[in-house]
Amino acid sequence: MGKLAVLLHRVSGLALALFLPLHFWALGHALQGTASLEAFLAWTAHPLVKFAEWGLVLLLAAHLAGGLRIMALEFLPWRDWHKSLAAVAAGASLAAGLAFALAL
């Protein structure tokens, strides 16, 4: 489970890094004026974009939970329950993603 947690943390970090230029591109629409921003916001109402937004929140939660797991492994004294931190991190990530999906 530890290798899977490390892989998920790395993949979510890379995916978030790839998302960042798209985020700046979206923010650039606000600088171009109201009409450009309104057109962009209308595009974000599509179901596929909403699904991608849910995926982004899930990636953020997974990356946060994985980072907290790594910090716990680094700074807390070693215990047998550290093995289950990956499962807790995965569950917390899924819960955050589902909460966001249900709020849409």
What domains appear along the chain, each with residue ranges and CATH number? 2-103 (1.20.1300.10)
Q: Which ranges of the chain would DSSP assign to H, the alpha helix?
A: 2-32, 34-43, 47-75, 85-103
* Token code pair at residue 72: 């716990």
pLDDT at 104: 63
pLDDT at 62: 86
% of the chain exceeding 90 in pLDDT: 6
Look at residue 30 and give its three-state secondary structure. Answer: helix
Number of neighbouring beta carbons within 10 Å of residue 100: 17
Q: Give the model confidence (pLDDT) of 47-85 as tens digits.
A: 998 898 888 888 888 888 888 888 887 787 766 676 677
Can you read off the two tokens belonging to residue 2?
A: 């530890």
Query: Each residue of 3-51: pLDDT tens digit?
Result: 887 888 889 899 999 988 888 988 888 888 888 888 888 998 899 988 9
Terminal C-alpha separation, the chain: 31
In this prediction, residue 46 carries a pLDDT of 92
Q: What is the pTM of this model?
A: 0.67
- Output the average pLDDT for the chain: 84
SS3 84: helix
Mean pLDDT value across residues 83-93: 77
